[in-house]
Chain A
Amino acid sequence: MNEKSLFEQLQYILLEQDRKRNRQMADKVEDIQSEVSDLKEEVQEIKEDVSGLKEGLEDPEKFEQKVDPYVKNRITDLKVNFQHYFGHEVKETIKTELEHSRDDFIEALYPIIGQVVRRYVKYSFDGFLENVNHRMSSAFSPKRWANRVRAVFAGVSGDELLIQESIAQAKIEEAFVIHMDSGLLIGSYSSNNTTDLDMIAGMLTAIKSFVKDAFQAKDQGELETIEYGNYRILINHFHKYYVATVLSGMVDAKLKERLDVHFMEFSKKHIPDTIGDIDDRLFSSVSNKLKKSIQDFEKSTK
């Protein structure tokens, strides 16, 4: 037996352990080395990527080219699936917003809606009135029968003839420019030499103020039309005066509107900004211009 000294033996045992460790270490180092080289490669690749990106960022066109497809994709996705992604949230937000600021909404919308509704009702009502007036007058007037007879010769229906006539009939009988407070006549026009225009002007003013007082016109509303018999009086308000036009025949909304515009122009051109004494000079100058302006208006409607 190869007698090894105990020392040797012992050393061996000890070294055996060491040797093992060394081998393990060597293996590990090898592993690490290969890992490092792998990492190095990766880093190189990343470096290249980054520099590519950098280039793209510095050149917006290139960047866009790169990013565009992704963004587009995302947008189409959102478009298609928006309801699905956010529908609930949007609904909730709107609901709570509306509940929280109910008053604000109402306040903001009220005048608009109010005006729209009022206008609508007014015009519908006017239309309705026109309709009724027309039916009443045609149903009860002997004219209808006369028209029937004439229509046989003219080759149109009696009602058609009646409608044509009543539209043609709309005529300005009288017009007044009236001082707002005092009801004094600033100018007037009459197609049939009516006297007492002064008094009519005063009465119109009294009626107007009666209506205003009676209804306590909260919204600064003013009387705009008066109807009596076959006449209709349209009133256009300006700051210090108003214009009242007495019309006979069928007055429709379109004619009304045209008159509005007409008197607006007239007022701008022919009525002095400050009205002092209402004397005969002012009266005749305004009256003359009024006459001419109404004749022009009637010509233009024919």
Chain B
Amino acid sequence: MKSISKKIILTGSFCVGKTSLISRFVYQRFPFNYQTTLGVRIDKKLVETGDVNVNMIIWDIGGEQTQARVPESYYLGSSGVIYVFDLSRPSSFYNMANDVEFIRKKLPKSPIIIVGNKVDLLDERTLEEVKSILPIEPDFYTSARVGNNVEDVFLKLAQAMI
């Protein structure tokens, strides 16, 4: 089957679980101890979408409080974006509307998937409360720890890119 290479980036504030989501997706592992990502880390995984295989080259970008602080070159040539925030930490999503707008301007042709992570930390009531104050409704609620929806995030992005 035909396979096609695509660069994607995971971005968002620090400590929201970007590295953990990738680790879960690529290695089926969840690292408990937090090691902040310095600069950028690169992984890859082949995602089968049915018609085409997507050879995903995944750029895990060190978290920044605002996207404006992410080095310009990390966005370059990226065909897709996963924007991650932490459902249990409001400061990680307050600025989300601006961030997403910023990325859209940088990469007008690339799909952006918005992900609220660490859903396992919230009970149902709290989750409803958080949902009501979110500036943008995310595409997925995930848990890197438990594994909820993680595959789906990457699969949806793969489909959106081809």
- Residue of B40, B57, B77 near A198 (CB, 8 A) is B57
Alpha-carbon distance A198/B39, docked complex (angstroms): 18
Contact B77 A183 (CB under 8 A): yes
- Is A210's beta carbon under 8 Å from chain B? yes
A198 partner residues in chain B, CB cutoff 8 A: 5, 44, 55, 57
Return the CB mask of B28-60 against A: 1 if under 8 Å, else 0. Answer: 000000000001101110000000000101010
Question: Do residues A206 and B77 form an inter-chain contact, with CB atoms below 8 A?
Answer: no
Chain A residue at minimal CB-CB distance from B59:
A202
Q: Which residues does chain A contribute within 8 Å of B44, judged by CB atoms? A: 196, 198-199, 202
Among B5, B6, B7, B55, the one with the most A-chain Cβ atoms within 10 Å of its Cβ is B5
CB distance from A79 to the nearest CB of B (A): 64
Contacts of A184 in B (CB 8 A): 5-7, 57, 77
Contact with B along A167-208 (1 / 0, CB 8 A): 000000000000111111100000000001011001100100
Known: A182-B76, A209-B73. A202 touches B7 (CB 8 A): yes
Report the Cα distance A281→B4, complex, angstroms. 9
Residue of B2, B4, B78, B79 ringed by the most chain A CB atoms within 10 A: B4
Decide: A183 and B7 in contact? CB cutoff 8 A. Answer: yes
A222 to chain B, nearest CB (A): 12
B74 within 8 A of A: yes
Q: Counting CB contacts under 8 A, is A13 at the interface?
A: no
Q: Does B3 contact A (CB under 8 A)?
A: yes
**Residues on the B chain within 8 Å of A281, using CB:** 2
Roughly how many angstroms separate A254 CA and B77 CA in the complex, as a whole number? 34
> Of A179, A180, A196, A279, which contacts B2 at CB under 8 A?
A279
Known A181-B76, A199-B43, A203-B42: A210·B4 in contact at CB below 8 Å = no
Q: Which residues from 272 to 302 on chain A have a C-beta closer than 8 Å to any C-beta of chain B?
A: 277-281, 283
Contact check, B76 vs A209: say whether CB atoms are below 8 A apart.
yes
A107 to chain B, nearest CB (A): 31
Report if A58 contacts B (CB, 8 A). no
B4 lies within 8 A of A206 (CB): no
Q: Is A213 an interface residue (CB 8 A)?
A: yes
Contact check, A206 vs B42: say whether CB atoms are below 8 A apart. yes
Residues of chain A within 8 A of B129, CB atoms compared: none
Contact A212 B57 (CB under 8 A): no
Asked if A181 and B39 sit within 8 Å, CB to CB, the answer is no
Assess whether A279 is in contact with B5, with CB atoms less than 8 Å apart. Answer: yes
A147 to chain B, nearest CB (A): 40
Given that A183-B57, A198-B57, A213-B72 are known contacts, is A277 also in contact with B40, CB under 8 Å in the complex? no
Closest 4 CB pairs of A and B: A182-B77, A181-B77, A209-B73, A202-B42
- Besides A202-B57, A210-B73, 18 more A-B contacts (Cβ < 8 Å) are A180-B77, A182-B7, A182-B57, A183-B42, A183-B57, A184-B6, A184-B57, A196-B44, A198-B55, A199-B57, A202-B42, A202-B44, A206-B40, A206-B42, A209-B71, A213-B72, A277-B4, A278-B5
7 contacts between A and B (CB under 8 A): A179-B77, A180-B77, A183-B77, A198-B44, A198-B55, A199-B42, A209-B71
A residues adjacent to B (C-beta < 8 A): 179-185, 196, 198-199, 202-203, 206, 209-210, 212-213, 277-281, 283
